[in-house]
């Protein structure tokens, strides 16, 4: 074992204690952020005359060498070190000697880890935004191609009113659009640099915090050093936003699983995104959608874990906070994988338009429109509702759809019915008469599609 702090100790750390305390097994994921932060810190120390330009040059060359060697696999991150910060610093000192020992001037591992975690999290936000945009692009494509693909809309998982596949997919577009907005909002709020906060009370060295903040792409330095080293709100906010992303993906997965079932047959999953059974030769299972739905649980778990870890902590840094990483990293990876695979699955799915339309035609999805027809002929809505209710009973009895009734049968139920009833309750009419913004009617849908197009082309925010 190798550590940065042996000076005031007279005994070696117990091996089990060392293992329990160490975080290198998981915080090594942040090696890039640790090196990037140290390069910025050393540049600032040089600019302020706290260390010599010669030392700065040696430190930067040393750190860049470490980065290169880790990435090429030449340098293995060793578990002999307590954490990634100790590993990088010790390696730097091995490489460049005394200059390396000056790097940690005016810095604590507390502001260092706060910075590394922020840089890592910010990077995750940026990568996730790209994945969400890819998903929205696939969705828009499906929406544009299916404004006249009729299907039943459901409430209580019972057929309710006819709609289109475009309209159904547009509901998911809205959800993932809000997810992107949430990420942008979190990024904006978290983008202040904690470096220079020291252990908790800043430092006596004349650091230029605005300069390091700028070098690292932050909007400025944080305003309170105690808060800076003990703030993990941004991890909580991101895990909360990610839980919502997973909730959306999970609902969508659930629908696709149902639609892919033998009973529904609305969709056919591509072979590349399905799996077979070891015993039942006929099976083609939607495992990817099921796994996405299943993995939602571990992302929620990460959120609850960090909320619980943070809830009793006095200011400022406490070692409990080392527990912010493992489950968060797992959740970050899970969300990235799920978005990537779900998008691939969705882009290769085929929709059985004929099955969907047929399903929309039975189940009395046009009953509301039949009632509205009577209202337009002067029948009060409550009476119309009763008449159509009796009509549905008659159809169930005759095992037919509303549009299968004869004109005489219509007239017998209510004399206000005329020949134009058949057109008024056709699938096309039922959908395309719904023209309020947000409804499935073709003209209304086209307006929304134009908004989505401008949004994805970065022309107009939504």
Q: Give residues in contact with ligand ARG (CB under 6 A).
A: 23, 27, 83, 109-110, 113, 317, 319, 321-322
Work out the number of other CB atoms within 10 angstroms of the CB of residue 345.
21
Indicate if 42 belongs to the active site. Answer: no
Between 318 and 426, CB nearer to ligand ARG? 318
Beta carbon of residue 32, minimum distance to ligand ARG (angstroms, whole number): 16
> Tokens at residue 80, please?
């002999």
Between 36 and 83, CB nearer to ligand ARG? 83
Catalytic site residue from 167, 253, 277, 406: 277
Beta carbon of residue 319, minimum distance to ligand ARG (angstroms, whole number): 6
Beta carbon of residue 357, minimum distance to ligand ARG (angstroms, whole number): 57
Burial class of residue 329 in the structure, from the number of CB atoms within 10 Å of its CB (0-12 exposed, 13-18 middle, 19+ buried): middle
Catalytic site residue from 72, 156, 350, 406: 156
Between 197 and 365, CB nearer to ligand ARG? 197
Beta carbon of residue 78, minimum distance to ligand ARG (angstroms, whole number): 16
Could you write out the DSSP letters of every residue in 12-77? PPPHHHHHHH--HHHHGGGHHHHHHHHHHHHHHHHHTTSS-HHHHHHHHHHHHHHHHHHHHTSS--
Between 252 and 317, CB nearer to ligand ARG? 317
d(CA 72, CA 89) in angstroms, rounded, equals 19
d(CA 103, CA 67) in angstroms, rounded, equals 16
Indicate if 41 belongs to the active site. Answer: no
Q: Are 306 and 235 in contact (CB under 8 A)?
A: yes
Strand partners, 351: 267
d(CA 128, CA 331) in angstroms, rounded, equals 12
Q: Are 90 and 2 in contact (CB under 8 A)?
A: yes
Beta carbon of residue 222, minimum distance to ligand ARG (angstroms, whole number): 17
Between 109 and 209, CB nearer to ligand ARG? 109
Distance of CA 120 to the CA centre of its chain: 16
Indicate which residues carry an active-site annotation.
Answer: 156, 277
């Amino acid at each position: 074992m190798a550590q940065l702090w042996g000076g005031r100790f007279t005994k070696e750390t117990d091996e089990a204690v060392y293992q329990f305390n160490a975080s290198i097994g998981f915080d090594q994921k942040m090696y890039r952020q640790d090196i990037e932060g140290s390069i910025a810190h050393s540049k600032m120390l040089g600019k302020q005359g706290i260390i010599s330009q010669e030392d700065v040059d040696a430190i930067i060359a040393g750190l860049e060498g470490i980065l290169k060697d880790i990435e090429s696999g030449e340098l293995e991150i060793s578990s002999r070190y307590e954490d990634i910060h100790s590993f990088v610093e010790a390696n730097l000192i091995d490489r460049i000697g005394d200059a390396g020992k000056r790097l940690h001037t005016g810095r604590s591992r507390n502001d260092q880890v706060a910075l590394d975690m922020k840089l890592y999290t910010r990077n995750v936000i940026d990568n996730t935004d790209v994945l969400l945009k890819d998903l929205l692009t696939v969705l828009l494509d499906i929406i544009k191609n299916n404004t006249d693909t009729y299907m039943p809309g459901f409430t209580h998982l019972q057929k309710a009113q006819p709609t289109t596949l475009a309209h159904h997919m547009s509901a998911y577009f809205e959800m993932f659009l809000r997810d992107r907005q949430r990420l942008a909002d979190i990024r904006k709020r978290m983008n202040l640099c904690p470096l220079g906060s020291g252990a908790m009370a800043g430092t006596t060295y004349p650091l230029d915090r605005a300069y390091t903040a700028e070098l690292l792409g932050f909007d400025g330095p944080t305003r309170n050093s105690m808060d800076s080293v003990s703030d993990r709100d941004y991890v909580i906010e991101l895990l909360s936003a990610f839980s919502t992303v997973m909730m959306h993906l999970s609902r969508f997965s659930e629908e696709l699983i149902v639609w892919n079932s033998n009973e529904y047959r609305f969709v056919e999953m591509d072979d590349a995104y399905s799996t077979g059974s070891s015993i039942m030769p006929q099976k083609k299972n939607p495992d990817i959608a099921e796994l996405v739905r299943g993995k939602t649980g571990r992302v929620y778990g990460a959120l609850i874990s960090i909320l619980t870890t943070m809830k009793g902590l006095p200011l400022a840094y406490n070692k409990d906070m080392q527990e912010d990483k493992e489950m968060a990293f797992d959740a970050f990876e899970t969300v990235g994988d799920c978005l990537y695979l779900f998008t691939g699955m969705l882009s290769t799915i085929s929709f059985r338009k004929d099955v969907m339309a047929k399903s929309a035609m039975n189940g009395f999805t046009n009953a509301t429109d039949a009632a509205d027809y009577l209202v337009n002929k002067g029948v009060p809505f409550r009476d119309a509702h009763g008449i159509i209710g009796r009509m549905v009973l008659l159809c169930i009895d005759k095992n037919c759809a509303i549009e299968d009734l004869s004109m005489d049968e219509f007239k017998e139920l209510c004399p206000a019915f005329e020949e134009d009833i058949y057109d008024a309750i056709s699938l096309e009419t039922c959908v395309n008469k719904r023209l309020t913004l947000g409804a499935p009617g073709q003209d209304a849908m086209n307006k929304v599609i134009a908004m989505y197009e401008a949004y994805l082309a970065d022309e107009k925010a939504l």
